[in-house]
Amino acid sequence: METITETLTMEQAIERGYTHFVKEEGEIVIAFSSITNDERVEYKEGIYFIVDMKNPLHYSIDADVIKDLIADHVSGQEEMADEEDKLYDIAHEHDYSKLADELNEKFKKHKYYEPLDILVTF
């Protein structure tokens, strides 16, 4: 997190409609509703940020990125005597937009959530 814009208690966060948080540099999103009163003591020691569950992120890849990856891979094949870069040219001229669309459609099924710059305390 670059800058913390606000600090909320768990109760304030819930009142504002937030439902989840994440430990600093953590990957596991935790629901406020899963925290018992006894567990709150454990959470007082760490640094936690609110997670906006209303705006999921999805990974996507551009057709040009796929093109560059494949063309670079093909051109790096030392076992092939392709001194005129014919394989590279073939890979670089290919249209990867259909593949990118298919991959991006599948990627949409997996949601990721970015922590906000709002600190939460317990």
pLDDT in tens, 40-84: 888 988 899 999 999 899 999 999 999 999 998 988 777 777 778
| pLDDT reported for residue 86 | 87
11 shares a domain with 52: yes
- The backbone region for 91, taken as left when phi is positive above 0, alpha when psi lies in -120 to 50, beta otherwise, is alpha
Q: What is the dihedral of CA 82, 89, 75, 106, to 10 degrees?
A: -140
SS3 117: strand
- Give the domain extent around 25: 6-56+113-121
74 shares a domain with 43: no
Show the CA angle centred on residue 61, arms to residues 55 and 63, nearest 5°: 145
Share of the chain above pLDDT 70, in %: 98
Strand partners, 9: 121
Query: How many whole angstroms separate alpha carbon 99 and alpha carbon 103?
Result: 6
81 shares a domain with 47: no
Query: How many whole angstroms separate alpha carbon 57 and alpha carbon 65?
Result: 19
What's the rounded mean pLDDT across residues 79-90? Answer: 82
Strand partners, 23: 48
89 shares a domain with 50: no
| pLDDT reported for residue 2 | 59
pTM of the entire structure? 0.66
| pLDDT reported for residue 24 | 86
